[in-house]
Amino acid sequence: MAVCNELIAQSIAIDCDALVVRGLESDGLIINRSDIDFAASVVTDNIISSLVLKTGKTGYEVIQQGSTPFTGTQTALVVGTNRNSWENTVALVVLGNSAGVNKDIIDPLGNGSFVVILKNKNKTDKAKYQVYGWYQGLRASEITSEKYSEDTDGGWAVTLVEAQALKSAMFFFATDEATTDTAYEALK
C-alpha cells in the first residue's frame, strides 16, 4: 500500500533569494469547466503543463480594478474523517448590471462550474499562474448586488468555491515562462 504524499520532501526555511510576494495581478481567465479537455491536458503533481480546451471553446478574461484585486481569494484546509482536502475560494466583482451582463455572466455564474487562472504577484518556482477549480470545479456560493455598495458600484460581488480539492494549489507552467505566457494567451 502506497503512502499518498504525507511526508514532506523539503526543508521549511526562508529562501532569502526568492521571498514570496503577496497578492494577485488584476487580470485572469475564467473557463467553463465543461470546455476543458481533461483527457488531453497534462498534469504532473501540482503542475498543469498542458491545458487543452475542446475545439471551438475559449476562456474569458476577468479584469479586476483597484489596488487589491480578487480580495477574498484564498485556500483553506478542510479536515475530513478519513482524509483532509482543500477549499479554494475565488472572489470577484462584476462592475455591471444590464440585461446582457445578467444573461451572459451572472446567470451562468449562478449555476455553472468553472476553472479560474489567476496571476500571482509571486512568480518564483513556476508559481506565476495559479489554477483554481481544476479538480471539482468552482461553483457559486454567493452572488449579491447591493445597489449602494462602494465595493461594486451597484454591480455584483461573486464568490466561487471549489470544495474537496485534492491538492493545496495547482499551477499552470509549460517548459519556461515565455512558453507558458504564450500558452496562457492561447486560452483566450
Q: Which residue has the cell 511526508?
A: 7
Across the range 63-74, mean pLDDT stands at 95
Q: Which of 11-15, 73-77, 120-124 has the lowest mean pLDDT?
A: 11-15
Quick one: pLDDT at residue 19? 81
d(CA 159, CA 55): 29
Strand partners, 171: 47, 130
Instruction: Supply the pTM of this predicted model.
Output: 0.94
d(CA 61, CA 67): 18
d(CA 145, CA 81): 37
Quick one: pLDDT at residue 14? 85
d(CA 75, CA 87): 6
Quick one: pLDDT at residue 84? 94
Give the chain's mean pLDDT.
94
Across the range 54-73, mean pLDDT stands at 96
Quick one: pLDDT at residue 5? 66
Q: What percent of the chain shows pLDDT beyond 70?
A: 98
Quick one: pLDDT at residue 3? 60
Quickly state the pLDDT bin for 123 (edges 50, 70, 90).
confident
d(CA 188, CA 183): 10
Q: Which residue has the cell 483527457?
A: 39
Q: What are the cell numbers at 117? A: 487562472
Quick one: pLDDT at residue 8? 83
Long-range contact pairs involving 39-46 (C-beta distance under 8 Å, separation at least 24): 43/134, 43/170, 46/167, 46/168, 46/169, 46/170, 46/171
141 and 119 in contact (C-beta within 8 Å)? no
Q: What is the pLDDT of residues 129-179, one digit of tens each?
A: 999 999 999 999 999 999 999 889 999 999 999 999 999 999 999 999 999
